Amino acid sequence: MRSFCSRGWLSLAHGFPARSWLYVPGHREKMVVKALERGPDAIIFDLEDGVPLSEKNSARDLLRRHLSKIREADRRILIRVNRIDSGMVKQDLTVLSDAVTGIVQPKVSIPRDIHSLSELLEEHESSTGINRGSLSVLPLIETAQGVLNAYQIASSSKRIAAVFFGSEDFTLDMGIKRTVGGGETRVAKSLVAIAATAAKVQAVDTIYPFIEDVEGLVKEASSAKEIGFWGKQVVHPRQIDPVNKVFTPSEEEVKEARRLVDAYEEALKQGLAVVALDGKMVEPPIAERAKKLLAVAEGIAQQAK
C-alpha cells in the first residue's frame, strides 16, 4: 500500500506537499469517475457532510465498486469518514483498499478523537492484512476547542501526515459570520499552521465556498500561504488550477532560491557562515528556506512529467 505517514512535512508521497485537495461526494458516481481524470494532488472521497444520511450505504457501495479504477490514479486518495462519535466509522472503513493512503477525520477537537480512530484503524489493518500503521490520519480542525488543542492533536499520533483547518464549522461554533475576506479566521488559521509546523506535518487551508469567485480564492490561498499553509482544500474542479498555481513556486522564486543556495554554499566552501548577496545577508535560515522551496519545486516538476 502506498503511504504518506512519514512525519516530515516534505516526506509525503510524490516528494512534495499536496497543493490541492479535492472533495468528491462518495454517492455521486459521475463525480467520482471524473475526479480521477482531473488534476488535484489529492482526492478526498467524502462519506461525511457531502453525503446525506440516506445515501451513506450507497456511497460506500459505490466507492468499493470503483476501487480498481481508483487504484490506477497516480495521486493521493483519501476517504473522509464520519465523525468518531457517529457510530458509522467502522462501516466507512470497509471501503478501504490498497488504493487509499489516508483517512480525513472531521470534527477533531481533542487528541482522544485521534486515538479512537487509530484504534479502529489498527483493528481494520489487523483483520484485512494491511500493514499496521500504514494508513495515515489527517485531522480536520473545525472547532474552537480543536484550534486551542491543535498542537496536541497534530502530535498525537505517528499516523498524522497533515492537519486541515475548516472555516465553515469553526465560524458556526464561534457564532460568527463566514466572510469572503476571511479575516474572522486569521488568528485560528495561524494557530493551526504553527501547530502543524511544530509537529512537522503539513498544514492545509480551508475550502473556499464561493465557487465563481476565482479572484477571492486566489487571494485567500495566497494569504494562507503567507502564514504557513502549503495547500488548500477545494470543492470544485475549477478551483484546482488556481490553487495549484498559488502553492507552486514561480520561476522567479526558483531562480532566486537557486542564487541564494549557490551563494551560500560557495560561502561555506570559503569557511563562512554568512554571505552578502545584492546587499542582503544570507544566513543559514534563509538558505534552508531556499532549499525547501527548491525541493518543493522539483517534486512538483517531477509529478508533472
Encode pLDDT of 175-209 as tens digits: 999 988 889 999 999 999 999 999 999 999 999 99
Residue 256 is placed in which grid cell?
532566486
- pLDDT tens by residue, 108-163: 999 999 999 999 999 999 988 888 888 999 999 999 999 999 999 999 999 999 99
| C-alpha closest to that of 192 among 92, 72, 108 | 108
Q: Does residue 119 contact residue 59 with C-beta atoms inside 8 Å?
A: no
Residues of the chain with pLDDT under 70: 1-16, 38, 68-74, 304-305
> Where exactly are the structural domains of the chain?
13-246, 251-304
Grid cell of 121 as nine digits: 484503524
Burial of 253 (0-12, 13-18, 19+ CB in 10 A): middle
Q: Give the per-residue pLDDT at 270.
A: 83
Beta bridge partners of 203: 163
pLDDT value of position 71: 64
Q: What is the pLDDT of residue 214?
A: 96
| CATH number 3.20.20.60 given to 13-246 | yes
Buried (b) or exposed (e) across 153-192, using 16+ Cβ within 10 A?
A: bbbbbebbbbbbbbbebbbebeeeebeeebeebeebbbbb
Closest CA to 43 of 61, 15, 9, 67: 67
* Tally of CB atoms within 10 A around 249: 19
Distances in whole angstroms, Cα of residue 118 to Cα of each of 9, 48, 123, 295: 20, 18, 9, 31
Q: Name, in order, each residue with C-beta under 8 angstroms of 157's C-beta and a sequence gap of 6 or more.
A: 114, 115, 118, 137
- Residues 6 or more apart whose CB falls under 8 angstroms from that of 159 comprise 5, 114, 118, 121, 133, 135, 136, 137
Identify the pLDDT of residue 115.
97
Give the pTM. 0.89
